[in-house]
Structure 1
Amino acid sequence: MNKEEQLMVGFRELFNKINWLNKPKMEESLKGYTSSEVHCVEFIGNHPLSNVTQLAEGMYMTRGAISKLTKKMVKKGLIESYQKPDNKKEIYFDLTEQGKRVFQIHEALHNEFQNRDKVVFDQLTEEQFTGILRFIDSYNEHLTKEMNRQDTHSK
């Protein structure tokens, strides 16, 4: 196995282990909500004035899928839709009180998991962090370009 393959296998193994460790607590604490609903709540909580297009781009879903998801979430009382007085065309979303509670639970769990794993990050030097972040940024940029290229070809 070459270094690239080792790295990709390592990433998959790492993310699978993180998921294995986090999933039971997430499911227990956020019972009754799907992963998509929780991540949509997270996106809206972190991005005020979110609309369907922004949600679709930020969650890597189609606008149709986001429309379906947000309708379901409005019915569940997690979010509410609204329009700005100066823009009646665009629909925006905001968290309800229930949505804010889900957001806070989700954030608290992320903080708990981050604290659990802090021991590993505390061992990294500034130089190691910089190198890892540089690689992640570069790979993300490459994948974004590839997604845009494929999106252009599919139209």
Structure 2
Amino acid sequence: MNKKEQVILGFRDLFNKMVWLNKIKMEDCLKGYKPSEVHCIEYIGRNADSNVTKLAESFYMTRSAISKITKKLIEKGLIESYQKPDNKKEIYFRLTEQGKIIDKIHEELHKEFQERDKAVFDQVTGEQYDSMLSFIEKYSRHLDVEIKKQGIDIQSE
């Protein structure tokens, strides 16, 4: 196995371990909420004037999939929709008080996970972070180009 393959497999294995380990606590603390719902709540809580298109772009999902999730979140009383007075066409989302509670629980869990993993991250130098971030940015830009080459338009699917 060459180094490129080791890096890709290493990222995948690392990501899978992190998801598996975090999932146990997340499911316990956020019973009744799917990960996609919680991540939509997080995005809406952090981004003013969130709408279906912005959510779809952020999560690499179709607008119709996001519409289904936001409809469920509205039904559960976690988000509400609104329109701006100058734009009656576009629908935006914001968190309700109940949505803010779920967002806060999720945020606290992330802090707990960061604290759990602090021993590793404290050993990483600024130069190492810069190198990793540079690689991630380059690879992400490459994948964006490949997505465009495929003619994939996430919003229209």
TM-score tier after normalising by the smaller chain length: over 0.9
Please state how far the C-alpha of 1:98 moved relative to its aligned partner: 0.8
Q: TM-score, normalised by structure 1?
A: 0.95
Cross-structure match for 1:71: 71
Runs of 4+ residues deviating >2 angstroms: 151-155
**Change in 2 beyond 3 A, CA 1:30/1:152:** closer
**Change in 2 beyond 3 A, CA 1:153/1:112:** closer
Cross-structure match for 1:18: 18
Paired residues, number: 155
Query: What CA deviation, in whole Å up to 9, does each residue of 1:37-79 have, x standing for no partner?
Result: 0010011011111011101101111011111111111001010
Please state how far the C-alpha of 1:82 moved relative to its aligned partner: 0.6
CA distance in 2, matches of 1:102, 1:117: 23
Q: TM-score, normalised by structure 2?
A: 0.94
Higher relative contact order (CA 8 A, sep 6+): 2
Please state how far the C-alpha of 1:16 moved relative to its aligned partner: 1.2
Please state how far the C-alpha of 1:149 moved relative to its aligned partner: 2.1
| Structure 2 SS opposite 1:151 | coil
Task: In structure 1, list runs of 5 or more residues that go unmatched.
Answer: none
CA distance in 2, matches of 1:31, 1:133: 34
Cross-structure match for 1:139: 139
**Counterpart amino acid of 1:139?**
Y
Superposition map of 1:48-127 within 5 A: 48-127=48-127
Identity, % of aligned pairs? 64
CA distance in 1, matches of 2:16, 2:100: 28
**Change in 2 beyond 3 A, CA 1:153/1:72:** closer
| Structure 1 SS opposite 2:150 | helix
Superposition map of 1:22-37 within 5 A: 22-37=22-37
